[in-house]
Structure 1
Amino acid sequence: MAEMTAKRLADVAEGVIRPLNQTELKSATSLVKDLIRQEPDLADMLSGDGPLRSFILAAFTLSPYLREIATVRPALLVEALSGPLEPLLAAAVVEARAAWQAEEGTAVPSEGEVMARLRRAKRKVAFVTALADLARIFTARDTTAWLTAIADASVAAAIDHLLLTGHETGKLTLKNPEQPAEGSGLIVLGMGKHGARELNYSSDIDLVIFYDPEAGILRDPDDAMETYGRMMRRLVRILQERTADGYVFRTDLRLRPDPGSTPLAVPVEAALIYYEGRGQNWERAAFIKARPVAGDIKAGESFLRELTPFVFRKYLDYAAIADIHSIKRQIHVHKGHGAIAVKGHNVKLGRGGIREIEFFAQTQQLIAGGRMPDLRLRPTEQALTALAEARWIDAATAEELIDCYWFLRDVEHRIQMVHDEQTHVLPETEAELKRIAFMLGFIDTTAFSTTLETVLKTVERRYARLFEKEEGLSSATGNLVFTGQKDDPDTLKTLKSLGFERPEDISRVIRTWHYGRYRATQSVEARERLTVMTPDLLKAFGESRRADEALLRFDNFLAGLPAGIQLFSLLGNNPALLDLMVNIMAAAPRLAEIIAQRPHVFDGMLDPSLLVELPTRDYLGKRLSNFLTSARHYEDILDRLRIFAAEQRFLIGIRLLTGAIGGAQAGRAFTDLADLVVEAALAAVIAEMEAAHGRLPGGRVALAGMGKLGSFELTAGSDVDLILLYEHDEDASESDGVKPLDTLRYYTRLTQRLIAALSAPTAEGVLYEVDMRLRPSGNKGPVATRLRAFAKYQREEAWTWEHMALSRARLICGDESLMDEARTIIADVLSTPGDMARIAADVSEMRALIEQEKPPRDLWDLKLIPGGLVDIEFIAQYLALLAPARGLALSTSGLSTADSLRALADLIDANDRDICLDALRLYTDLSQLIRLCIDGPFDPAAVPAGLIDRVVRAAECPDLKTVEAELKRHAKAVRKVFSRVLAVR
């Protein structure tokens, strides 16, 4: 890249690639004609039947992604064909690097403008390098270098933009706003292929971010975690959010220290302490390729120098060698590491793949790099060459592996070039495999397969030879004998090594299982299946924190299980399911109790898409509809609703527990589930009422969801706040059924039936506890409310707190026309300006009264603590009532508290709003998790260690003490906002 030549696509050789088939060729020919009409400059370039035209047509048949770019941006094709490639790419890289800067005579670009500039530059580089690569004008070395260059430029520009934004908003004080990263102490390391300048065509980029609080750019060092955390979330958004211009790079920040329990940006000192005391084998290997790519480059280089003793150990001792082999054992069990094949083979993770070549070099770099600094090289090819020069491997091995490496990288690029997908797996079908073969210049799939198999077997042979003396290391975990009355001494050692602190107790428990003392282990078959899975079970539990406690909870679960064969079969054949079971037992007693009482909820955990597919309303609705299809009568419908709700609540909880969704997503999913179930129950109740009592002339019913149901914020254990509204013809006196009822009794009984349908306990449990105290008459009057009475009450009699509650109301099901009328009434009531001085006084008084009558238990009572959820909800509800007085036509009905605060942004200081939103996010994540895992209050001294781990992870903090400090900080800040907002009026 440093020495640019005049490589041009116009110089493409004849026949480097061939079209996929005649059908695709006709389509590509038509497209080229369209492009020439749009861009006349292409006419001369692509006229006739020369090599360039043939190449472009073939490329468009082979890569739908390139064809799409040319269709959307034909000018890019003109640029690619018009002149030398390197200057064009270099200019795109420069454009990306300067994306944060103002162009002459213009203002500093907005975040949206920065994102657009980066995406345009990335698209240009991706398009041009792909064409040059397919044309064999670029080698894989060139392609990876240019892709890395645009990644470096993009990340650096995004970081500079964020630093400058922080400076302009007063969060930071930069030393030189013209060079924002200079002396900032913000370290951005590119890891893996990014660090080694070896990026794939459709790579994600792995970044690790550290900051030095002593660098002096933070206005308030106490805000470091919040400031940099927010900055990194914006960084990910800038780089990977898909817009009309595409995306820049998918961005992964999970290579940071202990990613489950640390913030997105980690203080330098904390990182060094972590690596020195807790650094993992894989982290040592990862840091071989680490490279400062953005931010304060000098600080990054200094950090890596300090980390050198961790990565490259001083002495080549047996402990170090054992450490290296432990990485090998991790690699051996890695997903995708199957037998050599062609169709469906993973060229990165599969046997003989890219990962084995990288690992071949890295293991020896780790072993010898401490004594031989010349081996500390990032790129794989350079590392292999250096190992040969140091006589650590022979020259023939190095040359062979280098050739194999770049061939496999070529294959990988072709796989990704098809649809711009981050995949490393070859197609399963002959037709799609032919596409890859042709892109590589092979005459057919047979020739390609022969070459690929030779390469894979070569790599596998070299890789296996490196460790051929150590195959025994990855075998058994050790003795696990549970026969007889006495403990086997070697078994106790094995249990200790697996992570159990009280091996004697664990041994005794497992002997209990094998002796068939529980119903679940009474059959011979059940005990045999349990015996087979015991090693995996112990290994999985041993890896959890407080392994003894988690396994004893599993023992309690087994003790109450009516039968065990099905469960043991499921766990034995599904390692992922076993991991989930361990997570539940280690962190979530409430979920453990659910599966003990209702083992059928496990069925849903077998769905391979469980942790990938989000539980949207559409997703849940389709499943509920299918589940109710064969229900024939009222009781059957209600039982099926209970079964469905229990299973889906459990599965939403599993997603939350494993981190597949966050607190806000869980709240929406629990609410969508409640909406669907309540709607189905109402329909069933109405059908029953009509069968017994007939219909009322003009009779209509609608349900309003209030509280957390109205604002999409239900938790796993929430009840539902409902108001049943009805209306009928003026002259209607009674229903027309066999057993007629007058209007009041009709709707009263319908409401009572609905409450019973939802909350009456049956063999399948309870759907939801129902609270109807928010209706106009409270607990004193009828349970059903006529719409006109509801309207009159809200307009003439309702108290301030009732209007606050109304701001969260949401019509969830029933007659559409009645729902529309109710929405109009609610909107009309909430849009009527009120006496804001009185309302402010009422809100303050209500909050004080709650604090007096229901004081918080402790800091973890997130709802009631001063500055907790109630404060934030009251702020949002007060602002909703303030909007009409300020002449704003804003509605928060049916919005979450967070969305309400955003909608009411004009009524609250932006910083105050962000304080509330940040606190709400933390409270929501924690409260959703806690309510999922336990019943009752959160007592850190009494709850499972696994739950504490997940609470710490959800808060993105290193430990519980820091979480509590964060809660205090947020609560204090929110309480100040509450006082400011209410006092200003």
Structure 2
Amino acid sequence: MVPARVELWIGGEAALQAFDTDEASRRRDELAGRARGEGLERLAAWMEADEDAEARRLVAALSLSPHLAAVAERRPGWIDRLFDLDAGERIRRIVADLAAPVPSDASESAEMCRLREAKAEASLLIALRDLFGAADPERTTADLSDLADAAIGRALRFCLGDLHARGQLALPDPADPEAGCGLTVLGMGKLGGRELNYSSDIDLILFFEPEAPAIRDPGESVEMFSRLGRRLVRMIGERTRDGYVFRTDLRLRPDPSAMPLAIPIPAALIYYEGAGRDWERAAMIKARTVAGDRAVGAGFLRDIAPFVWRRYLDFVAIGDIQAMKSKIDRHRGFEGIATAGHNVKLGQGGIREVEFFAQAQQLIAGGRLPALRTRRTDEALQRLAAGGWVASDVAAELTEAYWFLRRVEHAIQMVADEQSHTLPQGREDLLRIARLCNYAETEDFEAALLQRLRRVQARFSALFSEGRTAREDETGVDALLEDEADPAALRWLEQQGYTRPADIGRIVHRWGSGRYRAMRSDAAREQFVAVLPSLLGAFAGGADPDGALLAFDRFLEGLPSGLQFFSLIASNPRLLDLLARIITSSPRLAETIARRPHVFDALLDPAFFSELPTRDLIRERLDAFLADARFFEERLDRLRIFASEQRFLVGVRLLSGALEGEAAGRAFSDLAEAVLHQVLEAVEGEFARAHGRVPGGRIAVLGLGRLGSRELTANSDIDLMLLYDHDAEAEVSDGSRPLPVSTYYARMTQRLISALTSPTAEGVLYEVDFRLRPSGNKGPLATQIGAFRKYQAEAWTWERMALTRSRPVAGEARLCEEIGEAVREAIRSHRADPLLSDDVADMRARLDVQKPPRGALDLKRVPGGLTDLEFIAQWGILTGIVPLDFVGAPTGEALASLRESDRRAEELPAAMREMTRIMQILRLGGDSTFRVADLPGPLADRIAASLDIADRSGIEPQVAHRAAEVRAVFAETIPYRGGASD
């Protein structure tokens, strides 16, 4: 009789149904007999009694899987052990035992036997937990991956220890052979993602650091580690009487037909940077160090990151991944969705489509968003949803389908321990798979499977066809690329609203002639043809289709390369309307896209319209973007890329109405401040490497003008002053090439200016102006804080006016505080100056004469315009009417404070707000447009909307009205003695 309390510790509540009663009875008798033959009476009696639900589940599992039955019958003690120990705990112990040190007297044959026994027992228990419902597919794949890691690590430690014993390696710590050995083993694919199949190959790549101290003979290192690789593969993959551990594949290494099994890291990096393909980028997403020298592995993955995670959004990757999937379909003959005979990994709607769905979008955006750089497919979908790249319901749907399909995949492989992903054709064999997946009937299983396959296939197809119009739905306008007078195409253009279709036809034909750089490659032309009908339709939607197309023609002529850009808009048709608006209304933004098409990437962020680019957010993203920059020039280039992209982003938000002028000014200024902080830090560090540091040296940058008051526009220069301090006794820097203190800081300032202004392939960071420093161009480039205080004690009124729009924007925190106090003291100490108001008024009068307005929208020069408003605010701070807290604040905030004490200023904040909005939008169009009639129509309409007036005809009257109000307040508030334009 079986004791009542005897039960297996497997767990789970899944109800398994046997394949049939005869098979179940045979498996029960066979296992019970084997148990009795080995003296396991407890197990034998428990099986024969057939009174326990757990026993019936076990018998059902063995009846469904000949492989599991064979393992259990060969080693019934592994089942008997589960009466005393939980299966999950036993799996963990097996993995832990493999991770233990290899005995010094261990033989290769003994280790191979031990590895195979461990794999067989762990695989049996992992399968039972999976079938019983004690482990979900995620836990099953993680357990299999942990087992593989432990097995690879143990075999590698044996091989490394043997090389050390033979004198071929000098391991730093023979007790821990992997540490410092110089060789790293990368797990790829599902092993890298800790998502291993039940009966999977493991994909490995072996890299080594050729200068590792452990290597005794560098000239023999490739051959030595390649021999180790062959031995490792034999120990793990060779099938012996004890079975095998894991089938092992090393073909994912670079150029496997030519490269050795173990590859020096410098050679690998050269290959990836020069010849790496998109499928290798996708493969490297999952790469993980699974054994060997962890430091070497981490260093390699860090160095390979720029290859995998490109700085720009990469929509060519979508086409390449789609091509890979199509090649798989053609090669394997996969067509349609079915159940019998369907490949759940590579077939349509299968696992690979879920993986490609996630990986394509990871490759597109992972360079900009490090959060997307995850190895696991389910985590990638979750993070894509969190970032708004994928709808949350789509991510949840694909994740559920993914794990369902992985469960089916495991069931297929549990039948005979074969690396198969294909469902059987026969109905009886299909029933076996259904019941392994806990479906009693084949029909229920097929319905559930088909539902998931169709969902996946639909989502995958939607991603890879978005923006691509089917041929039968196209308009035929791409025929104009070959024939400028194609009648059907010209009729379509006319129907769309183009008033000169023949001229438009000639322009489109010119695009196909190969004269434009962007259209010269076949790949670029293919993408362009795909998007051309939608592009022409988008331009036709505006008020002036012909003018819009001419503007696009100028844009296209300046575009240096078209493949990435055309791929981007082909994959994101929602961008076409925005592109049309930019090109027709903002030559400045269009010029930015033409010069650097990748800045358009930023518009694809799902949070684009709703997210306000705050100072903290800008700094957080900049830190992430710079994280893997390896040297000074790369850091500067990344700063140029980031600044250009973010300026463009703010400009487009402003153009679209998502942001108004005052918020844009803050965003432009916060961006400049974040960039300056990073540039100053990089320049200071690089300069110190050559010249050391000045004892007690501190530096800070004071921002003035529009940067100081956080009112930068899209094209503003930045006014700067560099100040420093040091120990009183310091005379020279302490580096290998020391410099006198004043020379040190002057040259560092020159380096800073050069870093900001030097043009490179990535553009220019900022144009800078240092003329507001003490003594202007005649004074030293860098100013000591004590000299700054002394100079400001005797400064002119206009210099103190400049200080009212100043604030420290980068540098040592304590020095920034001291500078801020010095500025406030310079202003405070001159409040009683009897000539203060006269000076401000005279200055404005001279500007009226010397710089008259060039049109109604020359807001800086027009009487009552921005200069009047800025002068009033500055005067208010200098006189003490406006508190010193408003030094460095936006002009509108200072005017609002002035209004609290002087009711004459009642309308000034509103005037400042309106003129700021106009100025910010005008700057998107350029620097030389001063009349509404000269503005692009959409830009004029945007200004009217920002002022909340009916149409563009009201802009100039509104400006004139506000200017008259402001000039009247100026004349009444500040003694004004006349001017030519008054």
State the TM-score, normalized to the length of structure 1: 0.50
Q: Distance in 2 between matches of 1:767 and 1:850?
A: 31
Once the 2 structures are TM-superposed, how far is the Cα of residue 737 of structure 1 from its aligned partner? Answer: 1.1
Q: Which of 759, 775, 780 pairs up with 1:761? A: 759
- Partner residue of 1:584? 582
Please tell me whether the aligned partners of residues 590 and 935 of structure 1 are also in contact (alpha carbons under 8 angstroms): no
Q: Which of 819, 823, 838 pairs up with 1:822? A: 819
Q: Which of 798, 803, 818 pairs up with 2:795? A: 798
AA at the equivalent of 1:907: S
Summarize the Cα distance change of 1:533–1:786 in structure 2 as closer, same or farther, 3 Å threshold: same
- Partner residue of 2:458? none
AA at the equivalent of 1:982: I
Give yes or no for the alignment of 1:852 onto 2:849. Answer: yes
Once the 2 structures are TM-superposed, how far is the Cα of residue 863 of structure 1 from its aligned partner? Answer: 0.8
- Partner residue of 1:937? 929
Once the 2 structures are TM-superposed, how far is the Cα of residue 905 of structure 1 from its aligned partner? Answer: 3.4
Once the 2 structures are TM-superposed, how far is the Cα of residue 500 of structure 1 from its aligned partner? Answer: 1.7
AA at the equivalent of 2:517: R
AA at the equivalent of 2:893: D
Give yes or no for the alignment of 1:925 onto 2:932. Answer: no
Structure 2 gap ranges (5+):
1-390, 398-471, 978-982
- Partner residue of 1:951? 943
Q: Which of 486, 497, 507 pairs up with 2:505? A: 507
Q: Distance in 1 between matches of 2:932 and 2:699?
A: 46
Please tell me whether the aligned partners of residues 932 and 956 of structure 2 are also in contact (alpha carbons under 8 angstroms): no
Q: Distance in 2 between matches of 1:802 and 1:768?
A: 23
Please tell me whether the aligned partners of residues 854 and 930 of structure 2 are also in contact (alpha carbons under 8 angstroms): no
Q: Distance in 2 between matches of 1:734 and 1:480?
A: 69
CA displacement, residues 932-959 of structure 1 (integer Å, 9 cap, x when unaligned): 2224334444442222222222232223
- Partner residue of 1:64? none
Q: Distance in 1 between matches of 2:802 and 2:747?
A: 26
The 5 A counterparts of 1:125-204 are: none
CA displacement, residues 435-481 of structure 1 (integer Å, 9 cap, x when unaligned): xxxxxxxxxxxxxxxxxxxxxxxxxxxxxxxxxxxxxxx98879885
Q: Distance in 2 between matches of 1:854 and 1:479?
A: 51
Please tell me whether the aligned partners of residues 640 and 764 of structure 2 are also in contact (alpha carbons under 8 angstroms): yes
Summarize the Cα distance change of 1:485–1:494 in structure 2 as closer, same or farther, 3 Å threshold: closer
Please tell me whether the aligned partners of residues 693 and 735 of structure 2 are also in contact (alpha carbons under 8 angstroms): yes
SS class of match (2:971): helix
The 5 A counterparts of 1:318-467 are: none
CA displacement, residues 764-785 of structure 1 (integer Å, 9 cap, x when unaligned): 2211111111111111011111
Q: Distance in 1 between matches of 2:799 and 2:952?
A: 38
Once the 2 structures are TM-superposed, how far is the Cα of residue 538 of structure 1 from its aligned partner? Answer: 1.6
The 5 A counterparts of 1:192-231 are: none
Q: Which has the higher contact order (CA 8 A, sep 6+)?
A: 1
Q: Distance in 1 between matches of 2:571 and 2:883?
A: 58
Please tell me whether the aligned partners of residues 855 and 930 of structure 2 are also in contact (alpha carbons under 8 angstroms): no
Q: Which of 891, 901, 911 pairs up with 1:897? A: 891
Give yes or no for the alignment of 1:970 onto 2:962. Answer: yes
- Partner residue of 1:810? 807
Q: Distance in 2 between matches of 1:782 and 1:484?
A: 63
SS class of match (1:701): strand
Once the 2 structures are TM-superposed, how far is the Cα of residue 931 of structure 1 from its aligned partner? Answer: 0.9
- Partner residue of 2:902? 908
Once the 2 structures are TM-superposed, how far is the Cα of residue 889 of structure 1 from its aligned partner? Answer: 4.9
- Partner residue of 1:169? none
Q: Distance in 2 between matches of 1:695 and 1:428?
A: 53
Once the 2 structures are TM-superposed, how far is the Cα of residue 830 of structure 1 from its aligned partner? Answer: 2.3
Summarize the Cα distance change of 1:632–1:660 in structure 2 as closer, same or farther, 3 Å threshold: same
Once the 2 structures are TM-superposed, how far is the Cα of residue 525 of structure 1 from its aligned partner? Answer: 4.0
Please tell me whether the aligned partners of residues 587 and 924 of structure 2 are also in contact (alpha carbons under 8 angstroms): no
Q: Which of 741, 762, 783 pairs up with 1:785? A: 783
Q: Distance in 2 between matches of 1:597 and 1:478?
A: 30
SS class of match (2:480): coil
AA at the equivalent of 1:520: A
Please tell me whether the aligned partners of residues 890 and 904 of structure 1 are also in contact (alpha carbons under 8 angstroms): no
Q: Distance in 2 between matches of 1:944 and 1:723?
A: 37
Once the 2 structures are TM-superposed, how far is the Cα of residue 982 of structure 1 from its aligned partner? Answer: 0.7
AA at the equivalent of 2:958: E
Once the 2 structures are TM-superposed, how far is the Cα of residue 717 of structure 1 from its aligned partner? Answer: 0.6
The 5 A counterparts of 1:199-348 are: none
- Partner residue of 1:723? 721
CA displacement, residues 33-84 of structure 1 (integer Å, 9 cap, x when unaligned): xxxxxxxxxxxxxxxxxxxxxxxxxxxxxxxxxxxxxxxxxxxxxxxxxxxx
Q: Distance in 2 between matches of 1:651 and 1:824?
A: 35
Summarize the Cα distance change of 1:822–1:522 in structure 2 as closer, same or farther, 3 Å threshold: closer
State the TM-score, normalized to the length of structure 2: 0.50
Please tell me whether the aligned partners of residues 893 and 909 of structure 2 are also in contact (alpha carbons under 8 angstroms): no
The 5 A counterparts of 1:700-719 are: 700-719=698-717
Q: Distance in 2 between matches of 1:809 and 1:863?
A: 19
AA at the equivalent of 1:630: D
Give yes or no for the alignment of 1:839 onto 2:836. Answer: yes
SS class of match (1:812): strand
Q: Which of 672, 682, 685 pairs up with 1:684? A: 682
AA at the equivalent of 2:606: P
Q: Distance in 2 between matches of 1:633 and 1:693?
A: 18
Q: Distance in 2 between matches of 1:829 and 1:623?
A: 37
The 5 A counterparts of 1:421-820 are: 482=480, 485=483, 487-795=485-793, 797-820=794-817
AA at the equivalent of 1:818: L
Summarize the Cα distance change of 1:563–1:801 in structure 2 as closer, same or farther, 3 Å threshold: closer
Give yes or no for the alignment of 1:881 onto 2:878. Answer: yes
Q: Distance in 2 between matches of 1:583 and 1:527?
A: 23
Summarize the Cα distance change of 1:534–1:428 in structure 2 as closer, same or farther, 3 Å threshold: closer
Summarize the Cα distance change of 1:870–1:889 in structure 2 as closer, same or farther, 3 Å threshold: closer
Q: Distance in 1 between matches of 2:701 and 2:514?
A: 52
- Partner residue of 1:249? none
TM-align CA RMSD:
3.0
Q: Distance in 2 between matches of 1:601 and 1:480?
A: 27
Once the 2 structures are TM-superposed, how far is the Cα of residue 486 of structure 1 from its aligned partner? Answer: 5.7
855-864 vs 528-537, which moves further = 528-537
Summarize the Cα distance change of 1:862–1:705 in structure 2 as closer, same or farther, 3 Å threshold: same
CA displacement, residues 348-375 of structure 1 (integer Å, 9 cap, x when unaligned): xxxxxxxxxxxxxxxxxxxxxxxxxxxx
- Partner residue of 1:980? 972
Q: Distance in 2 between matches of 1:644 and 1:889?
A: 36
Q: Distance in 2 between matches of 1:979 and 1:559?
A: 51
- Partner residue of 1:182? none
Q: Distance in 2 between matches of 1:613 and 1:793?
A: 43
Please tell me whether the aligned partners of residues 649 and 670 of structure 1 are also in contact (alpha carbons under 8 angstroms): yes
- Partner residue of 1:870? 867
Summarize the Cα distance change of 1:747–1:429 in structure 2 as closer, same or farther, 3 Å threshold: closer
Please tell me whether the aligned partners of residues 748 and 783 of structure 1 are also in contact (alpha carbons under 8 angstroms): yes
Percent identity over the alignment is: 48
Summarize the Cα distance change of 1:723–1:428 in structure 2 as closer, same or farther, 3 Å threshold: closer
Once the 2 structures are TM-superposed, how far is the Cα of residue 540 of structure 1 from its aligned partner? Answer: 0.9
Please tell me whether the aligned partners of residues 723 and 784 of structure 2 are also in contact (alpha carbons under 8 angstroms): yes
SS class of match (1:721): strand
Once the 2 structures are TM-superposed, how far is the Cα of residue 821 of structure 1 from its aligned partner? Answer: 1.2
Q: Distance in 2 between matches of 1:486 and 1:786?
A: 68
Q: Distance in 1 between matches of 2:809 and 2:496?
A: 51
Summarize the Cα distance change of 1:915–1:426 in structure 2 as closer, same or farther, 3 Å threshold: same
AA at the equivalent of 2:740: D
The 5 A counterparts of 1:6-155 are: none
